[in-house]
Amino acid sequence: MMNGPSKMKLFDRFSAAEQRSFALGCLLLVAFAVYANTLRNGFVYDDHHQIEENPYAQSFKYAGKIFTGTVWSFQGEEGKTNYYRPIMTFGYLLCNKAFQSLPHGFHLVNVLLNCVVVWLIFCVCSMLFLDEGVALIAAGIFALHPIHTEVVAWIAAVTELEMAIFYLGAFILFLRLSLPETKQGRAKILMCIFFVLALLSKEQAITLLVVATLYEHFYRSDRSLTSLKMKISRYAGFWIIGSAYLLFRATVLGGLAPVLKHGDVTWPQVFLSAFALAGQYVLKLFWPHPLLAFYVFHKSASITDPRALSGILMAFLAIGLFVFLWRNARNYSFALLWMALTLAPVLNARWMATNAFTERYLYLPSVGFSVLVAGGLAWSFRRLSERASLARWAYITAAMAVALLAATAVIARNRDWHDDYSLFTQALKVEPHASLVRSDLGVLEWNRQKPDEAERQWRLALVDKPDNVVALANLGLASLEKQRYDEAKAYLQKAIELRPHFAAPHVHLARVYAAQGQDALAETEFRRAVEIYPLSTQARNALGKFYFDHGKFPEAELQYRASTGSLSTPEPWTRLGDIYWRQGNRDQAEKAWRKAEELAPFDTYTHLCLGDVYLATGRQVEAEKEYRAVLLMDPKNAKALEGLGQLKVKLVPAAQH
């Protein structure tokens, strides 16, 4: 490795080890403190689907499926995606078991993982530059940069944290291969294990094999003394594992990117859009404002597009900076190379999600940015050290002020991630044409018993994106609830036409047919929804209710039983109790209702049902307890009062006796 600048003295009266431990401890404390207010946040956005509604994240019986499917595989045909990240889902499973599905525990994990990343950045930079002062500054810049709020404050962005930990861990072990005290065999095995875990965390980790190869041949300090065979042996494991990973994706997952969210973007447009996206990312690193949960993607169709032009200009400036650093401070040119290589995979708009630009994609690339800025700050401070002390103190004061502003911005941004409503409304203030966010806001308004406002949001979403199938499906549901059946069918059939493998519109359309007495068509649509999304409790329960209403109790029982094997929700257990009660099976009815009561202790219906079971089987004390529990929640509940009245009638003869 190239020798870096002389060590910056932090506190002369302490030993080097004490200085390092104290400074790093303070940094990690700050890294935790700025994100501490996220511990009060709830689940937002994809968290609901990936954690609360994901059967794979609820039970170890799905552990095998976690590692053989994509992140959305639990949704069946509906869940086809390019993302293979089993570490994320398995981590959710562990957190669910540890924290009982409480969001605060998940947020704590994110904050702690981010602290680990900050520590690893300090370790990497110390090894690369032999300067703990620069390493500390780089880690501090990373810890306080507001661009990382999405990654830490949003539970679903944990993939970035997991990948960064394993990526940096593997790279540290790779760097240690040139140290004489390193046990080569053990280090290479651990290095490869970390790389595998990084790949299982996020696809972007594949860049490590290129990063390591370039570092070995052009940056490692012993490169002139090492044979080509030795060089290759150090990174060969990365290439073997990377090749196996790509083969696995191609054969098992159906390709590197089987789903194209932007299939209308041609390859020339992909090329131009890559420059536009790169320019946008670099701008966000220098000026992280405003920060949004969703950015509308605009493809660049011409080289005259200002976004593409600015990106091309930025690329030339980056090349110039790289050449300058290569000649004057080679190790810092590696930081620029790190940025470019780790950012490259997310610049192909055809392969990316609907929101092709997102802040979280900068998490790993920003390590290089932090190093470059840290090196620049250290160099300029040393230049000032040759001048009067007043200039140095002014420099330090300015740096501290920027750090304080950054910390304030992080803490303030964390509040936007508190809940869905605050997140969506803040995003729409800046990006009013974010159709997907607007359709999600409509769902929130619907759940808040504001159907008119919900419909307004869904209609606005369609103005910006006429093929928004979520908005179409939800407008179909709204029309169904208002008994505007023809209108509902038009919306739902359009949604199905655009996205046949989306279960929700099939469920809603089935309900429309059922309301119109077209039972055969209704059953077909219900069954199609279940076929698309076998683990959907919504689809299973809807089909179960359809069979129950038509007196087909065995078929209804089958659907509700399947629903209980998906998620732990009270509805299927309640309905199973109803079926068994209708069939005269009191014991099974009681067991089902007791399970429903366990899952929803404040549901009056299950308490009433259990009261009726106990009354019918002569258990007056238990029956009274259930009826009184209902009256605590609903003092005027007629059925509970009637049940208590029947109990009094039965108890009078016993008292007289």
Tens digits of residue pLDDT in 201-256: 999 999 999 999 999 999 999 999 999 999 999 999 999 999 999 999 988 887 77
Peptide bond into 290 cis (omega under 30): yes
Higher pLDDT, 101 or 169: 169
Q: Which two tokens stand for residue 299?
A: 């493809």
Using one digit for the tens of pLDDT, what is the confidence trace for 259-303?
877 778 999 999 999 999 999 999 999 999 999 999 999 999 999
Instruction: Provide the pLDDT confidence category of residue 655 given band limits of 50, 70 and 90.
Output: very low
pLDDT for position 388: 65
Residue 232, C-beta contacts closer than 8 angstroms, at least 6 positions apart: none
What predicted TM-score, i.e. pTM, was given to this entire model? Answer: 0.93
Tokens 């860049």, residue?
207
Q: Of 623, 613, 618, which is closest to residue 644 (Cα–Cα)?
A: 623
With tokens 């219900």, the residue in question is 526
Please report, to the nearest 10 degrees, the dihedral formed by the alpha carbons of residues 617, 622, 628, 629 taken in order.
-110
Picking from 3-12, 15-24, 242-251, 506-515, which range would have the lowest pLDDT averaged per residue?
3-12
**Spatial separation of the C-alpha atoms in residues 415 and 419, rounded to whole Å:** 8
Query: Residue 488 pLDDT more than 80?
Result: yes
**Is 82 within 8 Å of 71 (Cβ atoms)?**
no
The reported pLDDT for the residue numbered 2 is: 41
Of the CA atoms within 13 Å of residue 407, those in its CB half-sphere come to 15
pLDDT the model gives residue 8: 46
C-alpha 67/C-alpha 90 separation (Å) is: 9
- Neighbouring C-beta atoms of residue 180, cutoff 10 Å: 4
Phi first, then psi: what are they for 43, rounded to 5°?
-80, 140
Q: Give dist(CA 142, CA 136) in Å, integer.
A: 10
Query: C-alpha angle 171/177/179, rounded to 5°?
Result: 120
Contacts of 54 (CB under 8 A, 6+ apart): 74, 89, 92
Q: Are 217 and 231 in contact (CB under 8 A)?
A: yes
| CA–CA distance, 377 with 141 (Å, rounded to integer) | 11
Residue with tokens 């709020």: 149
Mean predicted confidence (pLDDT) in 554-581: 96
Per-residue pLDDT, 449: 96
Mean pLDDT over the full length of the chain: 94
Residues 62-80: what's their mean pLDDT?
92
Give the integer Cα–Cα distance in Å for 341 and 462.
37
Distant-in-sequence, close-in-space partners of 268: CB < 8 Å, separation ≥ 6? none
- Residues 346, 365: Cα–Cα separation, whole Å: 11
CA distance 364 to 161: 9
pLDDT over threshold 60, residue 6:
no
Contact 614, 620 (CB under 8 A): yes
Helices (H), 292-388: 306-328, 330-343, 365-384
Which 8-state DSSP code applies to residue 9? P
Nearest to 191 by CA among 174, 179, 208: 174
The rounded distance, in Å, linking the Cα atoms of 28 and 117 is 10
Measure the CA angle with vertex 93, ends 92 and 95; round to 5°. Answer: 60
**pLDDT on residue 5:** 44
Strands (E), 466-521: none
Contact 164, 364 (CB under 8 A): yes
Q: Give residue 555's identity as a one-letter amino acid code.
A: E
H helices, E strands: number in the chain: 30, 0
- Mean of pLDDT values over 581-608: 95
Say how far apart CA 608 and CA 605 lie, in whole Å.
5
Tell me what the mean pLDDT of segment 396-405 comes to: 96
Cα gap 275→358, rounded to integer Å: 15
Q: At 15, is the pLDDT very low, low, confident or very high (cuts 50, 70, 90)?
A: confident
Q: Where are the domains of the chain?
A: 17-416
SS3 262: coil
* Six-digit token string for 54: 């994901």
Tokens of 47: 């968290």
CB proximity list for 478: less than 8 A, separation 6 or greater: 446, 451, 454, 455, 458
Cα(286)–Cα(369) distance, rounded to whole angstroms?
A: 9
Phi and psi, residue 639, nearest 5°: -70, -35
- Angstrom distance (rounded) from CA 427 to CA 433: 10
Residue 643 has pLDDT above 50, yes or no: yes
Bigger pLDDT: 19 or 123? 123
> pLDDT band for position 13 (50/70/90)?
low
As a whole number, mean pLDDT of residues 349-377 equals 95
Contact assessment for residue 363 and residue 164, using Cβ atoms and an 8 Å cutoff: yes
- Residue 652 pLDDT > 70, yes or no? no
- For the chain, what percent of residues have pLDDT higher than 90? 87
The whole-number pLDDT of residue 20 equals 82
Torsion sign, CA atoms 470, 257, 366, 268: negative
Quick one: 422 exposed, middle or buried, by C-beta within 10 A (0-12, 13-18, 19+)? Answer: middle
